[in-house]
Amino acid sequence: MKDLLVDCDPGHDDAMALLLALASDRVALEAVTTVAGNQTIEKTTRNACRVLTLADRTDVPVARGMGAPLVRDQVTAGWVHGESGLDGADLPEPETEPIERHAVETIAQTAAESGALHIAPVGPLTNVAVALRKHPDIVEDIERIVLMGGTTEDGNITPAAEFNVFADPEAAKVVFEADVDVTMVGLNVTREARLDRDHVARIREMESAITTVVADLLTYFLDVYETSFEWDGVPIHDACAVAEIVEPGVLDTEHTFATVETKGDLTYGRTVADVRGVSDDWPNVEAPNANVAVDIDRDRFVEMLLDAFETYR
Ligand code: RIB
Ligand code: CA
């Protein structure tokens, strides 16, 4: 069983990623760390506690993290996830509190205790970057970082950048350029990882307290995507990162150079990945340093999500 830590900013798709992890018998969710992103750190932390309460898994520790990015001004995404960060459903009041230890220390200590920790950052990378800088030796105890962030195509918060990386580009650059196995799961594949209203209807027919809340959250998320982006279905971005840790190979990846633009006026927060292998000499990175997702087995991904929700019947 793989040791897993999810660093998140719940967020509807963060919630799905947590529920997928909790339902799997192939990963042990050792800790949840929270970061400001979709909403403020107070709201994302409260939301993480609410999701664990919903799943009756308050045994999993929640550690509150960084409330602001390293350098840039703070951006949030209330227009997508609502004022609470998890609008659209009647989640329970939290029956657990964050632990005293900060998220940065929790990442470092969980890695040291595990010796082979899988980390799924699915929000801005501030916590992970600070942990790597403050405790550089933890790279020896991290098996893999599979992050939802970036894109090899167009962005969603600017034409060039994806939200998680745009919200803290300097932190993302630290993570991409660290000496650790990093897999980037960008919008270019998560946009394919969509659930539609038929899937939501199947989840609602499972008729448990948990699956009803999941169906309500997904309905809210679907409404936002269909009205704001005129999409058919809703991308469950963050669950793609957890799915790849649960079942390696659900993503197709290219091993190449990848890092983050932190200086461009129009391209600030853009992930730049050499998926076509056009260059063999990159600034700051010694050799191909990342696995970049270029495709996803959508049918298997959807099956994994629905199978996970079945366990909450
Ligand atoms: O761009 C998508 C990412 O931004 C997801 O992690 C979503 O939860 C938001 O944080
Ligand atoms: Ca997120």
For residue 279, the CA-to-ligand 2 centroid distance in Å is 31
Q: What is the pLDDT of residue 291?
A: 98
Express each pLDDT in 131-190 by its tens digit: 999 999 999 999 999 999 999 999 999 999 999 999 999 999 999 999 999 999 999 999
CB-based contact 262:70 (threshold 8 Å): no
Tell me, using a 6 A CB cutoff, whether residue 191 lines ligand 1.
no
Express each pLDDT in 218-261 by its tens digit: 999 999 998 887 778 999 999 999 999 999 999 999 999 999 99
With cut-offs at 50, 70 and 90, classify the pLDDT of residue 126.
Answer: very high
Residue 211 to residue 310: CA distance in whole angstroms: 8
Q: What is the pLDDT of residue 38?
A: 97
Nearest to 215 by CA among 227, 228, 225, 206: 206
Tell me, using a 6 A CB cutoff, whether residue 122 lines ligand 1.
yes
Residue 270 to residue 286: CA distance in whole angstroms: 20
Q: Pick the catalytic residue from 118, 199, 237, 255.
A: 237
Average pLDDT over residues 106-128: 98
Strand segments (E) across the chain: 2-8, 27-34, 62-64, 117-121, 142-148, 182-185, 194-195, 234-235, 251-256, 258-260, 271-273, 290-296
Percent of all residues in the chain with a pLDDT value above 70, rounded to a whole number: 100
For residue 58, the CA-to-ligand 1 centroid distance in Å is 24
Ligand 1 pocket test, candidate residues 12, 13, 236, most atoms within 8 A of CB: 13
Residue 285, pLDDT > 90, answer no
Ligand 1 atom with minimal separation from the 162 CA: 1
β-bridge partners, 293: 253
Tell me, using a 6 A CB cutoff, whether residue 238 lines ligand 1.
yes
Q: What is the pLDDT of residue 284?
A: 80
Domain ranges for the chain: 2-310
Express each pLDDT in 50-71 by its tens digit: 999 999 999 999 999 999 999 9
Tell me, using a 6 A CB cutoff, whether residue 9 lines ligand 1.
yes
User: For residue 102, what are the contacts with CB-CB under 8 A and spacing of at least 6?
Assistant: 63, 64, 65
Residue 88, pLDDT > 90, answer yes
The residue type of 129 is: A
CATH fold, domain 2-310, is Inosine-uridine Nucleoside N-ribohydrolase; Chain A (3.90.245)
Q: What is the pLDDT of residue 286?
A: 79
Question: Can you give the pTM of this predicted structure?
Answer: 0.97
User: For residue 217, what are the contacts with CB-CB under 8 A and spacing of at least 6?
Assistant: 12, 15, 16, 86, 88, 89
Side-by-side strand order, sheet with 27-34: 62-64, 27-34, 2-8, 117-121, 142-148, 182-185, 290-296, 251-256
For residue 14, the CA-to-ligand 2 centroid distance in Å is 5
* Alpha-carbon torsion (59, 63, 64, 65), positive or negative: negative
Is 237 among the catalytic positions? Answer: yes
Residue 287 to residue 92: CA distance in whole angstroms: 47
Q: Give alpha helix (H) positions in 207-256.
A: 209-228, 237-246
Express each pLDDT in 262-282 by its tens digit: 999 999 999 999 999 998 888
